[in-house]
Chains A and B, each alone.
Chain A
């Protein structure tokens, strides 16, 4: 009886692959960037052991095989290898099953994830789910996956990764696959295999051969595949194709896509580097944070009594975004600018996988909420006498994200600092399934919001199914006295979902409370 599982030590990157799968590198570093970077990631995560599984009938590769590889004259295996990675060191001569049982009982969190190796020499990395690296960054588009291995179940929170096979799909299909697979559990929508993505994208518009598909996909085909999978076919323009983007425009582009990244939505980014001329798709899944960055103001608004409100945006502290790049690997930094590598400055458009029941886009939500915030602050200051405005209006920072209603309520229920009246209001208020939230924080300490040190003074909550021009906010709360550096009441404006009733309430003993922090 042949054994389906084998245990290997992971001692160094250069030799990690020897004897593991058909892609044996004979002691040399793998020539595939994705593979090399995954091995580097595993090394950084403290990988000590690999359980090799063979044969594995991987559903995604099997679909590629059925559609294409089964028709080739050359014999190509229909099975994959799957490598499971652990940070528990194996004992000498330890049996695979004994090792799995021991890790499961003693420390199941030592499971680091798995990589599927498809039997295609030029593009071996198929469905791969590996834990993100540690560090001062936020991988937000991710999901918890249960992995069943020899009767034991391990859990891992990660963002799925795959390399294009360059026959059934190119980078665009791989990026769509990664985005769909990340959202499948959360949204309950289709998570197509690469062959289905190519079919969906080329249903109505073909620009050449669909199999093998070496030409990639056009933007129209990408958004058709996204729409067919159940998401909104929303596309965001970032700059002209060969236009050099200036710093202000780049900051603006970052702000547009950051809203979706903060909403835990994967964003397909179309990059057009100077060379080669063709574009390349990557998936944005998170962002870094640098507390030392000096933020740029997004507006210095004239307020009553010769005062001003200086407003900043949370994206100012985002130094890099994090991407899955099918041809170089998972969890990689995407810098703003680079002469050597892919960079955000090359991004022409973005396609966030916005749920189809969200009618207000991130850009519209933020514009609408900022108007509500400015109006409330202005109206409040209007009522103050000039004498009371000896204290400057404190600068604020805004951040907008889409949240599920239950997660917002969970956050409220756990929030120990929020005024009780406000907590009760938010926990009982009728909200739709999802809500756009624009939070307002004081600039003081905001750079350390990654350590949960931000001082939040309010939020505007929008109905994402509303019409932006029709004031679709459901709640707007601002601790207006904290804006003047004082303690005192805040204001809550409640609007019914129909818009037929608007009520203004005083929030006694209003407080400042931490901003949402997901590290």
Chain B
């Protein structure tokens, strides 16, 4: 989990009470940070998924 610009914005909003819209650059940074942190976990889940289809397809329930 890497530091993103979100922390500074949260701090600013908590301090001022004024809502804050992320700029395009901030938004892209946010998405990049998120993708870096979550993509491996999603890939693991999808690998389990493939394994389920592959190993389970011949099992019989009677």
Interface residues of chain A, those whose CB is within 8 Å of chain B, are: 170-172, 207, 214-220, 222, 235-237, 240-241, 270, 272, 278-281, 348-349, 361, 363-364, 367-368, 371-372, 374-376, 378-380, 382-383, 468-471, 480, 489, 491, 493, 499-506, 508
Contact = CB atoms under 8 A, between A and B. Distances in A.
Contacts of B48: 236-237, 363
6 cross-chain pairs, A with B, having the tightest CB-CB distances, nearest first: A216-B62, A379-B7, A237-B52, A383-B11, A502-B22, A279-B61
Given A367-B45, A471-B34, A237 B21 contact: no
Interface string B16-59: 01111110001100110111011101100100110111011111
16 contacts: A215-B62, A216-B61, A218-B60, A237-B51, A237-B55, A348-B56, A367-B41, A368-B42, A376-B10, A383-B8, A469-B42, A471-B30, A502-B26, A502-B27, A505-B19, A508-B17
Given A278-B60, A504-B22, 10 more contacts: A217-B61, A218-B57, A279-B60, A279-B61, A361-B49, A375-B4, A379-B7, A382-B3, A469-B42, A471-B30
Nearest to B31: A471
Contact of B62 (A279, A363, A376): A279
A226 to B, nearest CB: 13
A382 B7 contact: yes
Given A235-B56, A383-B7, A371 B38 contact: yes
Nearest to B8: A383
**Contact residues of B: prevailing secondary structure:** helix
A240 B55 contact: yes
B59 A171 contact: no
A216 B60 contact: yes
Interface residues of B, number: 43
Contacts of A504: 6, 9-10, 13, 19-20, 22
B1 A374 contact: yes
Given A215-B62, A237-B55, A349-B59, A383 B14 contact: yes
B6 A379 contact: yes
A77 to B, nearest CB: 27
Given A279-B59, A361-B45, A470 B35 contact: yes
B38 A270 contact: no
A79 B11 CA distance: 71
A241 to B, nearest CB: 7
A105 B56 CA distance: 53
B50 to A, nearest CB: 9
Nearest to B17: A506
B35 A506 contact: no
Nearest to A478: B10
Nearest to B41: A367
Nearest to B26: A502
A505 B1 CA distance: 23
B28 to A, nearest CB: 11
B4 A237 contact: no
A172 B19 contact: no
Given A364-B42, A371-B34, A505 B13 contact: yes
A218 B30 contact: no
A364 B34 contact: no
Contacts of B62: 170-172, 214-217, 278-280
Contact of B61 (A172, A470, A499): A172
Nearest to A378: B1
A41 to B, nearest CB: 25
A421 B62 CA distance: 54
B38 A506 contact: no
A236 B52 contact: yes
B21 A491 contact: no
A292 B19 CA distance: 43
A344 to B, nearest CB: 16
A367 B37 CA distance: 10
A412 B58 CA distance: 45
A506 B17 CA distance: 6
B14 A506 contact: yes
Nearest to B38: A371
A383 B10 contact: yes
Contacts of A374: 1
Contact of B60 (A215, A349, A383, A503): A215
A307 to B, nearest CB: 14
Contact of B21 (A380, A471, A502): A502
Contacts of B14: 380, 383, 480, 489, 491, 506
B45 to A, nearest CB: 5
A300 to B, nearest CB: 14
A470 B20 CA distance: 21
